[in-house]
Structure 1
């Protein structure tokens, strides 16, 4: 049932034959000497990628060098817009898809594999076309300059997050030490810079959520056999910081030129939801006086830090996410609340996000010397259309991914019917409570499952039994038994086990 969620949410899966034919032809096009002459030749530079072990669409590579003045950071992004020409069948299909959709067992790509996993992917040892962002930072990690240039690169190492984490933590096997020896100095310089950037973000008020995402493990038949919390190591944090910085630089550049653009925006939280969050946080014993209309991202970051490492952590994370507005795309720079930045965009993932491809196309026009007036005429309506359509496509993809995750969780818990687990009360409604397990699985316990109790609900946090005074409050530990799991809907039901 989990495999049908792309159909249920209207996500196209197969590409038309003509599109596949065109992309196969594109993927076989050689990089000509004339094309190389137009670009910065970075093939001899120490550039490398770091991605998940199973990733095939490698759209970002980095180069890092530390000197007496600070750092020189290069973020080199697959030049998808070179292959996907404006108005082509491939371009129109990518625009309608908007984004790649990721499930535990497969990816529904925005672009056909001949591009996404082939000529656009920055595979190690292969000459590739890129769009590079060169940044200089001082010794405190402040961005002092940036420039954008088309390039040709050759990645030296295909890094894997888990492996790089072992190298940076000093616990790598000899085989891994040898693999990463050519880029070890770059990794160490990059880690130092990333830690500076992360600290600057915290001081700025960037919201840092401790991930509560799940990682699904499937057997050879595609059935979910285990679920573990997804963790973020040193290398994941490093790449995240570098991509945020490149995205910020692209937005700053576009705004300074006053050209049409597609910005990533995140508006202020809804006041009513802030009030709910304030009551919840206060009920859990957290300092929440500043959680009100006009709240700063720094105030919400402080709340997240208070909850970190406590039973309330996942509950507060979840409620803060519900309180925030949904990030979206817009052709105006409306700011990004969560990152506490005035200007932000998505530049770094054109293989899997159409807005990135769109702004690459606009920045290519800048590099080619097209005047601002001509860019306005050419891309003003385009940037507005892309922002609206891509925001809708992103929501569609998120719905499909989340529903599939629920189905996988139900499939896994169906294997454990009748078994007992420790959990935490993660939510409450008039009908009952939600309990979340350590592996992030959440199930429902109805008030009718407490036959000897007569509960009254306070409307937010707590059910109180009017007979015994027993309280069921969000944040309380609770032992539950798996009663039912419906794979088709993703619903999981628990019963009390104590």
Structure 2
């Protein structure tokens, strides 16, 4: 890491070497540099670790149990990835005469992390946990995130629980928030639950989940109801192409796998969305300071650009030509290209058209989810906005009046929303930069290989091609022999000699030509036609 120093002598600049990380052909080393460049905090200060050690000794007392809703006998369970250690959410579902009762039980981080404590100040500074291919940089010390706060099965844990009633169509009839104590019956794993829901589970798995099977099946049913309701209101099934990086024992990327989402992942997502809606409703009803997760309507000029692009690609998009297209209009376009070769491309272009979701102290709705009210309540172990919300709602549940809450949290909500949004951008920037390095590291080991890919972008000097493993590389027009291309300014190049057209969204054969790990750049060459 080099820090320049201006010396006001022409074009010369002095620089001081601040850090040496290692060779630039290792993605892990590049990730180290990215963390420093982005200003992502890694080491916890001594006072934070001292507080964490004291908190880690805390146990659930009889006083805790007496002062909370006792849900220890409820069929509550968690579902996470097999290697997850920070289990911050659990669920329980019961069928009722009118519909369903859903419990979303979230680790009560605010019980342990007090306002303006050393841990709280550090969590505010970090804003979020950051995820790299080879490491997690946690928002909270592991003694909390993986220990006292984690909802491990078979142990008594303190939660802040959202208890909601729904009718058979998925409409929320009632909700309340309770400080509770639970004892999770099963430590669920996504892959295992997917087998159960698909009807392919072994008897061993069925036995493991027997204590919560009725609750799990009710959750499956309720998730289906939620999905139908979301589809009816126009919720966009919009997701970026995520990659799972497989590393060897030395931290070198040896495989790229598209990250898939199964039924259990979607089930948990639907349950969390419900709790997030309920928390926003509670704050709006009480008219108190709060943090909302907002997603504004896309800007008209960007919608116009998208419409022109889709029309050039031959994708009907009449919905975008009317004034202020709705979420349902965008959903219709995504559905139109579903299961076609251009589905991923259109998905990404629609995603780029959207505004970035962020945190705000004013509710403006969530365009992507087609919701009028939304917040982030369900991940206080890894997101500071959720911790902030827990703190505010805890005081509301405890009976604090509106005047007190406005005085106590008015400035805090504004500041927390602003800083949390900035820290989220910092984390995402670092994560994506590191992903580029790991992708280049993998492709560098596969130089000369031939692949088929989809033209994902067109520039005046060449094209970008995306492979099935999500690696994306650049093909220069200079590498096409005996060609003279004319650029249409948007989606294609046409060879004036042969008539060949390189069109965005079409398939092309490439050869892996080069990969620079330090910059994350990958270059391809065209296969011979």
Where does residue 425 of structure 2 map in the other structure?
395
In the aligned structure 1, how far is the partner of 2:232 from the partner of 2:98?
Answer: 23
- Give the distance between the partners of 1:74 and 1:2, measured in 2 at CA: 43
Aligned mates of 1:281, 1:173 — CA distance in 2:
46
Instruction: Name the SS of the counterpart of 1:456 in structure 2.
Output: strand
Which of 261, 284, 295 lines up with 1:255 in the alignment? 284
SS of match in other structure, 1:245: helix
In 2, the alpha carbon distance for the partners of 1:102 and 1:210 equals 18
Q: Tell me which residue corresponds to 1:482.
A: 512
**1:166 equivalent in structure 2:** 195
Cα shift readout 1:157-179 (whole Å, capped 9, x = no counterpart) = 00000110001101112221211
Tell me the residue number matched to 2:94: 65
- 1: CA distance, partners of 2:255 / 2:299: 37
Q: CA deviation at 1:311?
A: 0.9
Matched residues in 1 for 2:100 and 2:256: separation? 39
The Cα shift of 1:3 comes to 2.8
What corresponds to 1:436 in structure 2?
466
> What is the SS of the residue equivalent to 1:25?
helix
Q: Is the 8 A contact 1:46 1:63 kept in 2?
A: yes
Local SS of the residue matching 2:386: helix
Instruction: Report which stretch shifted further, 279-288 or 320-329.
Output: 279-288
Is residue 114 of structure 1 aligned with residue 143 of structure 2? yes
Q: State how many pairs are aligned.
A: 498
Matching residue of 1:406 = 436
Q: CA deviation at 1:115?
A: 0.5
Whether the 8 Å CA contact 2:238–2:351 is kept in 1: the answer is: no
Match of 2:8 in 1: none
Relative distance call for 1:44 and 1:105 in structure 2 (3 A) is same
Q: CA deviation at 1:404?
A: 1.1
C-alpha change, 1:429 and 1:270, in structure 2 (3 Å) is same
For the pair 1:95 / 2:124, whether they are aligned, the reply is yes
The corresponding residue for 2:372 is 342
CA distance in 2 between partners of 1:399 and 1:185 (Å): 42
Q: Which runs of 5+ in 1 are unaligned?
A: none
Does 2:270 align with 1:241? yes
Q: Any residues of structure 2 matched to 1:68-467 within 5 Å, and which? A: 68-209=97-238, 212-292=241-321, 293-467=323-497
Which residue of structure 1 aligns with residue 10 of structure 2?
Answer: none
2:71 is matched with which residue?
42
Deviations 1:170-228 (A, max 9, x none): 11122212111221221111111101101110110111125521111111111111111
Supply the distance in 2 between the matched residues of 1:210 and 1:430 (Cα, whole angstroms).
28
1:308 counterpart SS class: coil
List structure 1 runs of 4+ shifted beyond 3 angstroms: none
Q: d(CA) in 1 for partners of 2:216 and 2:309?
A: 42
Deviations 1:223-277 (A, max 9, x none): 1111111111110000000000100010011001000000000001122221221
Give 3-state SS (helix, strand or coil) of 2:320's partner: coil
Measured in 1, the distance between the counterparts of 2:472 and 2:215 equals: 41
Contact 2:240–2:348, Cα closer than 8 Å, also in 1: no
Q: Which residue of 1 aligns with 2:499?
A: 469
Larger CA deviation: 415-424 vs 277-286: 277-286
Distance, in Å, in 2 between the alignment partners of 1:440 and 1:427 is 14
What CA distance in whole angstroms lies between the structure 1 residues aligned with 2:166 and 2:326? Answer: 27
Contact 1:135-1:144 within 8 A present in 2 as well = yes
Report if aligned partners of 2:223, 2:271 keep a CA contact under 8 Å in 1: yes
Q: Which moved more, 1:460-469 or 1:150-159?
A: 460-469
Whether contact under 8 Å (1:43, 1:152) holds in the other structure is yes
* Whole-angstrom CA distance in 2 between matches of 1:52 and 1:6: 25
Residue aligning to 2:14: none
Q: Compare 284-293 and 333-342 and name the one that shifted more.
A: 284-293
1:211/1:230 contact within 8 Å kept:
no
Question: Which position in structure 2 is the counterpart of 1:21?
Answer: 50
Counterpart contact for 1:130–1:153, Cα < 8 Å: yes
The corresponding residue for 2:20 is none
8 Å CA contact 1:140–1:196 kept in 2: the answer is yes
Contact 1:423 1:435 in 2 (8 A): yes
Structure 2 contact 154–185 (Cα < 8 Å) conserved = yes
Q: CA deviation at 1:44?
A: 1.2
TM-score for both structures, normalised by structure 1: 0.98
When normalised by structure 2's length, the TM-score is 0.93
1:27 Cα deviation from its structure 2 partner: 1.1
- Residue in structure 2 matched with residue 3 of structure 1 by the alignment: 31
Q: What SS does the aligned partner of 2:423 have?
A: helix
Tell me, what secondary structure is at the counterpart of 2:173? strand
